[in-house]
Structure 1
Amino acid sequence: MSIVEMKKLLLVGHKSTRASLLKALHKTGVVEISATKPTELAVPANVDGKIREEDLKLQRLSAAFDFLKDQKRVAERMAKREEISYTPEKKKLFEPQPRVSFDEFSKFSELEDEAMATVERTEEYQRRLSDLASLLQRVKTEAEQVEVFRPIAAPMAMFYDTKRVAVMLGTCPSDKVLAIEKLSGENEYFFVYKPEAVGRTIPLVIVCLKADAANVSVRLAELGFIKSSLTYTETAEQKSAEFQKRIEQLETEKKQIVLDSVEILQKIDVLQQFYDYVLVEKAKLTATGKMADTAKTFILEGWIPAEQEEKVKKAISDVSENIVFEIREPRGGEVVPTLVRSNPIVRPYESITNMYSVPAYDDLDPNPSMAFFYFLMFGIMMGDAAYGILLAVMGYTFYRLKKPVPGKGNLYLIIAMGGISTLIWGALFGSWFGLDVSGTFLEKIKWFSPMDDPITMLVLSLAIGMFQLMFGILMRGIKMAKRKEWQGVLGESVSWLLAFGGLIVFALASFLPALAAAKKAGIYVALSGVALILVFGGWQKKGVGRVIGGVPKLYDAVNFVSDILSYSRLFGLGLSGAVVGLVVDKICQVIIDMLTFGGVPVGIVVAAPIFIFGHVLNIGISALGAYVHNSRLQYIEYFGKFYEGSGHQFLPLGYNTKYNYIQIQEDK
């Protein structure tokens, strides 16, 4: 349960063995390739073109996934409107990620032709759907233009000018028709034909002398008349029917493409498997780009866990006996990747730490202590035993159903263990859905109720905060001792532990008569801590600053107190959840009392869903608050005392698959 010891791999081989070697190293699952420093004779391998080719494949595959996902949603909407017959495959709520052996994964290369042919089909469908969308828009626009002229039974092409007469087919607003007809009454050579039509836009045929056409057009334009440019040889009725038929044909073709697209989803695993294969091939090319090449050889550098040295040696030797390699201890100045190995209880909490920063290789592993405090404080923030049972059952049930691959599913376990913590603290607080447990066996394990005794709850929260912060200072001392910074141990760890430890003893002795004799001892211990701060507080400075540097360090006590007060959020979140639960219970009780007739509590029927909804909502809000605020206390208050992070996580070659997990033998 610590940071795993790492070793450096240095290797020189003939270029003809590089592909086989990378495959062998990938199969071990324990080698991270690092950058090799180029020399005059060895230059970085040029694989940029090949990487671009793999990137293009990944982009096309990703585009295919997005397209198919969109078409699935389109098909579901069409099926709801009964436009197509489509029954989507029911997706399992907790579908485990597929696991494959290395040999099975290697065969994914054989899927390239089938996968890329499928991608080309999706690209063709996408292009055709784009064309259909444009066509449909154009045809619908033309249909709308023709629709207004349906009351006119004559072919639209017959409305054309003669030698002396101008004929104009067009439309105008319905409220301007009378004005146009009045205009025709003022000119004996001006004729208006208005068919029987209703609506906001009315079709008109205007006939006038050609000599008057210009003036008439101006007057008509002022009245909102718009001349049509349509010259179809059919009537508007016939042309409209033709357009509708064309629209139906295009819609039918579109529906068929949607159905053909969702049919591809039955073989989506082929695309996913090939996608993962390309990801690994790109990773190998990226690793190749980190190597240095001579005319015929390549130089490889990497990192392996020390415990896997023999495994890596055998894998390299099996590729070729002519590969020269060395496995040695890390040297000063080298950036060593970090591999943390924790027990099953602590392991889920590694994700919490990694969200902040991965520990450096030479740093302390913060996960065991952080996991303990995270577990401890989660339950205080939730504070209800019944909530804890539900969280624990749900978390572990989801984890078992999902069957996540190694490194995944940590949130389920964090919630489940948080549920156990909540059960313990909730039982101590006597809270079971906020109900009164007086007179039951549950009262025997009750310590106190935060609602009845909020001061005790606040003191408990601050005490836990002080304990964690002092433990963080202890961790700082251990870290400095590991680096042999003994003055720092005295000035930044032992001194503060003595100062605050003495103050704690003094405070307890002041309130507890049994400890009254320890009051003076507490003062002396605290003063000795202050003395160490004054003497060694400026240990990193030089000259006068080294002598007086401890004085400003005393101000850190203010920051320490401020950090302790941050733990009052344990009190606030715990109390707020309890209040919400109590309010839900009171509302339900009022409803039951109001709807009790003849001794029969009919109101239970109404109160039950309110009870369930209210407490489920409270569990969700409280769990989210506990997760976020708990993380915040670890990151800001606890890690701020000793943890630097800034490490580089150990990432073995080919680890980054997306859809399929490559099962290494040790994982089984």
Structure 2
Amino acid sequence: MAVADIKRVYIISHGSQKEEIISELQKVGLVEVTDLRERLATTDWKLLLKEWGEPELRELDKNLSELDHTIDFLSDFEENSSGFIAGFFSPKISMKKKEFESTGDFSDYKKICDQCNDLETKLNELKNEENRLLNTLCHISVWMDLGIPLEDTKGTEKTNIVLGTVSAFDEMEKDIIELASETYLQVVSKHEEEYHILVIYVKDKEDEITRVMKKYDFARVTFPELTGTPSEVRESVNERLSMIEKERRDALAEISCMLKYRSQLLAVYDHIYMDREREEIIKNVAKTDTSFLIEGWIKEKDIATLNQRLKIVSNELEIYTREPEDNESPPIALENTAIVDPFEAVVDMYSPPKYTELDPTPLVTAFFIIFFGICLSDAGYGIMLSILSIIMMKKYIVGPTGKKFLRLLAIGGISSFFFGVLSGSWFGDLFKMPAIWINPVDDPMTMLIFALILGVVHIFVGIGAKTYNSIMQGKIKNAVFDQLTWFTLLVGVVLIILAEMDILYLGIIPYVVAGLGAMALVLTQGRSQNGVVKKILFGFASLYGIIGYFGDVLSYSRLMALGLATVVIAMVFNNIALMTKEIYIVGTFMAAIVLIFGHLFNLLVSTLGAFIHTCRLNYVEFFSKFYEGGGRRFSPFRTSTKYIEIEEV
């Protein structure tokens, strides 16, 4: 349970072996390759940074983009039977290794991509045309009673024919007839307060009639691209819409036939994706005319395996390793037991540790399990949470981080079951079971005191971890003056509180311990300041930090509050179900619905609250005492896929 030893590794070989060695590095997955371009670009070695693989990378990126677009297009037409929960995991497709390796190259599937692009274009064109025709039907619908062809509404040599809408038709008609009695006006249709009218007038009166139309906000309507009467237009549009629907069905049938190639397209994508990663690594190496150099990081325990695997590929290579230098920042690789490993996800959410820093995961694990169990604290919910987590791990293909979270929840469910048995909570009070230890509903104060005691222990462990870090980094003065002094003061304060509560009597010893701790802080916390007065003033000011420690301890009261809330909400749903059961005929059914959905809701909300607040106690109250973070995870160059989960046979 520690940070793995990391070494700097250099691999030097003949240029002709480049492809084989890099391919083997990808298969073995033990080396994190460093980008030499950044480190050497400003040195005399920059002459070695000849460009390799740029055209290949561009071609691979183009192929990946085309495949990705085709896959997304086909995915829109695939029947999704994976269910609601599976959508959160985005599972990969399982494929035998032999089947994956036998998948053809991109050129074999280029035709499929082109066909899908053509079909997508066709569907888009049909959709656009359909929208345009539907828009035409909408506009033409109010002119169905117009008996003249629309192309004739342009007028004649001596007359103008105008279509339009107006609200005050009667008033406008009166004014136009008074002005030009030979004018013809016809109401074609009326929709709500709008009149859709036809106006025929002589061109000699155009200016006068136009002024009258503007007076009544007459809105002219034209159909420059349509021919025939409105009813004839409607008939032709409906015929074309029927043809569009047929063409769409034909296109969708073709797409359905294409769906059988989707898994192969996914495999081809991952093949090209792996090729691209190799080409990217090739860009990171330095080379001469006859040799090349790869620089990276490797776990010390994997050096022998790397030597063995690469020597099989070529004897014309040299592998050299060394310790990280002081100005280097090696990646971090954690090696924890199966119980502790899932809780690395909690640490990663905050920040991975630095290479020279203590791995906090084992400490986080112990307290996370306890805190999570207290917050959820129901035996029934614990069983459900563990079972659901295990089922999801078995049923769905999830990534490493997803597996860690599910295992974490399964362990949290076991802890909740344990504390639920102690408190006698089985879906609240649905099953009457006696409390073996503390029932937070009956004795909240005892539960609160226990939570605060856990907080004190948690903070002391944090100070102890900081002391360990300082000693391991050779900062003995910091360990004594910054951690041991605070530890002494806080121990004294705790002993004083216990004495005042008549729990423990040690005479004046608690006051002496607290006094020594306070005096040591006053004398040491200002040591970086200039002048005796400033040193003493800064020392006295440091004592104010005791308020922060009291605030941190009080923050652990949330453990009691969340545990109490889980039980009380469960009891509320039980009472509602009990009252609902009395309803005639449907009472039993409704009570069952309330119990099922009520407890599922409470499980979801309480689990989320337990996880968030447990993380918060670790991040804010615990990590602030010793942990810096800022490390970078060890990420070896290995075979990785986006869509396919390769099954080893």
> SS where residue 352 of structure 1 aligns?
helix
Query: TM-score, with normalisation over the residues of structure 2?
Result: 0.89
Match of 1:40 among 35, 41, 44: 44
| Corresponding position of 1:348 | 342
1:556 and 2:545 correspond: yes
Q: CA deviation at 1:309?
A: 1.0
Match of 2:63 among 45, 53, 57: 57
- What does the per-residue CA deviation read over 1:522-562, in whole Å, with 9 as the maximum and x for residues that have no partner? 33333343344344445666775677754433222222112
Amino acid across the alignment from 2:66? R
Q: For 2:346 and 2:17, how far apart are their aligned partners in 1?
A: 41
> SS where residue 409 of structure 1 aligns?
helix
| Corresponding position of 1:82 | none
Match of 2:129 among 135, 144, 153: 135
- What does the per-residue CA deviation read over 1:80-114, in whole Å, with 9 as the maximum and x for residues that have no partner? xxxxxxxx363366596445677765555x33124
Q: CA deviation at 1:657?
A: 2.5
| Corresponding position of 1:199 | 191
| Corresponding position of 2:414 | 420
Given that 1:12 and 1:325 are in contact with CA atoms closer than 8 Å, whether structure 2 keeps it comes out as: yes
- What does the per-residue CA deviation read over 1:474-494, in whole Å, with 9 as the maximum and x for residues that have no partner? 111111111122121112222
- What does the per-residue CA deviation read over 1:332-351, in whole Å, with 9 as the maximum and x for residues that have no partner? 22221111121111111111
Amino acid across the alignment from 1:453? D
Q: CA deviation at 1:425?
A: 1.3
Q: For 2:98 and 2:304, how far apart are their aligned partners in 1?
A: 21
| Corresponding position of 1:649 | 633
Q: CA deviation at 1:634?
A: 1.0
| Corresponding position of 2:491 | 501
Amino acid across the alignment from 2:511? I
Q: For 1:170 and 1:98, how far apart are their aligned partners in 2?
A: 61
- What does the per-residue CA deviation read over 1:28-66, in whole Å, with 9 as the maximum and x for residues that have no partner? 011110133324344334245543443333333333343
Q: For 1:606 and 1:432, how far apart are their aligned partners in 2?
A: 21
Given that 1:338 and 1:650 are in contact with CA atoms closer than 8 Å, whether structure 2 keeps it comes out as: yes
Amino acid across the alignment from 2:49? P
**Equivalent runs, 1:382-401 vs 2, <5 Å:** 382-401=376-395
> SS where residue 168 of structure 1 aligns?
strand
Q: CA deviation at 1:293?
A: 2.7
Q: For 2:118 and 2:177, how far apart are their aligned partners in 1?
A: 57
- What does the per-residue CA deviation read over 1:145-203, in whole Å, with 9 as the maximum and x for residues that have no partner? 4433332334334455444x3040413347516742673376442233455x4535655
Q: For 1:311 and 1:542, how far apart are their aligned partners in 2?
A: 55
Amino acid across the alignment from 2:61? D
Q: For 1:656 and 1:523, how far apart are their aligned partners in 2?
A: 61
Instruction: Name the % identity.
Output: 25
| Change beyond 3 A, Cα 1:449–1:236 | same
> SS where residue 9 of structure 1 aligns?
strand
| Corresponding position of 1:111 | 105
Given that 1:148 and 1:202 are in contact with CA atoms closer than 8 Å, whether structure 2 keeps it comes out as: no
> SS where residue 325 of structure 1 aligns?
strand
| Change beyond 3 A, Cα 1:71–1:436 | closer
Match of 2:169 among 163, 173, 176: 176
Given that 2:378 and 2:426 are in contact with CA atoms closer than 8 Å, whether structure 1 keeps it comes out as: yes
> SS where residue 171 of structure 1 aligns?
strand
Amino acid across the alignment from 1:265? L
Q: CA deviation at 1:273?
A: 2.0
Q: For 1:107 and 1:307, how far apart are their aligned partners in 2?
A: 34
- What does the per-residue CA deviation read over 1:362-388, in whole Å, with 9 as the maximum and x for residues that have no partner? 211111110111110011111222211
| Change beyond 3 A, Cα 1:408–1:585 | closer
| Change beyond 3 A, Cα 1:434–1:193 | closer
Tell me whether 540-549 or 14-23 shows the greater mean CA deviation.
Answer: 540-549
Q: CA deviation at 1:587?
A: 2.6
| Corresponding position of 1:30 | 30
Q: For 1:30 and 1:128, how far apart are their aligned partners in 2?
A: 48
> SS where residue 148 of structure 1 aligns?
helix
Q: CA deviation at 1:18?
A: 1.7
Q: How many residue pairs get matched?
A: 636
- What does the per-residue CA deviation read over 1:273-309, in whole Å, with 9 as the maximum and x for residues that have no partner? 2232333233223322322233333221011111111
| Corresponding position of 2:265 | 271
Amino acid across the alignment from 2:592? A
Q: For 1:533 and 1:430, how far apart are their aligned partners in 2?
A: 46
Q: CA deviation at 1:125?
A: 2.7
**Equivalent runs, 1:109-508 vs 2, <5 Å:** 110-159=104-153, 161-163=155-157, 165-173=158-166, 176=169, 179-180=172-173, 183-184=176-177, 187-194=180-187, 197-200=189-192, 204-223=197-216, 224=218, 226=220, 228-230=222-224, 234-402=228-396, 404=398, 406-435=400-429, 442-443=433-434, 445-508=435-498
| Corresponding position of 1:607 | 591
Given that 2:430 and 2:574 are in contact with CA atoms closer than 8 Å, whether structure 1 keeps it comes out as: no
1:576 and 2:559 correspond: no
> SS where residue 638 of structure 2 aligns?
coil
Q: For 1:90 and 1:402, how far apart are their aligned partners in 2?
A: 13
Tell me whether 98-107 or 525-534 shows the greater mean CA deviation.
Answer: 98-107
Match of 2:82 among 68, 88, 91: 91
Which runs of 5 or more structure 2 residues have no equivalent in the other structure?
Answer: none
Given that 1:338 and 1:647 are in contact with CA atoms closer than 8 Å, whether structure 2 keeps it comes out as: yes
Which runs of 5 or more structure 1 residues have no equivalent in the other structure?
Answer: 73-87
Given that 1:387 and 1:422 are in contact with CA atoms closer than 8 Å, whether structure 2 keeps it comes out as: yes
Q: For 2:392 and 2:513, how far apart are their aligned partners in 1?
A: 51
Q: For 2:353 and 2:98, how far apart are their aligned partners in 1?
A: 34
Q: CA deviation at 1:234?
A: 2.7
Q: For 2:371 and 2:480, how far apart are their aligned partners in 1?
A: 30
Given that 1:501 and 1:525 are in contact with CA atoms closer than 8 Å, whether structure 2 keeps it comes out as: yes
Given that 1:156 and 1:235 are in contact with CA atoms closer than 8 Å, whether structure 2 keeps it comes out as: yes
Q: For 1:406 and 1:209, how far apart are their aligned partners in 2?
A: 82
Given that 2:150 and 2:223 are in contact with CA atoms closer than 8 Å, whether structure 1 keeps it comes out as: no
| Change beyond 3 A, Cα 1:232–1:437 | closer
Q: For 1:640 and 1:51, how far apart are their aligned partners in 2?
A: 45
Q: CA deviation at 1:389?
A: 1.6
| Corresponding position of 1:522 | 510
Q: For 2:109 and 2:225, how far apart are their aligned partners in 1?
A: 50
Q: CA deviation at 1:576?
A: 2.1
| Change beyond 3 A, Cα 1:40–1:482 | same
Q: For 1:244 and 1:301, how far apart are their aligned partners in 2?
A: 69
- What does the per-residue CA deviation read over 1:559-617, in whole Å, with 9 as the maximum and x for residues that have no partner? 2112112212212222222222222223333444x558xxxx98444322222222221
Q: For 2:523 and 2:110, how far apart are their aligned partners in 1?
A: 71
Amino acid across the alignment from 1:626? A
Given that 1:358 and 1:647 are in contact with CA atoms closer than 8 Å, whether structure 2 keeps it comes out as: yes
| Corresponding position of 1:81 | none
| Corresponding position of 2:521 | 533
Tell me whether 367-376 or 239-248 shows the greater mean CA deviation.
Answer: 239-248
Amino acid across the alignment from 1:522? P
RMSD: 3.1
Amino acid across the alignment from 1:653? F
| Change beyond 3 A, Cα 1:156–1:35 | closer
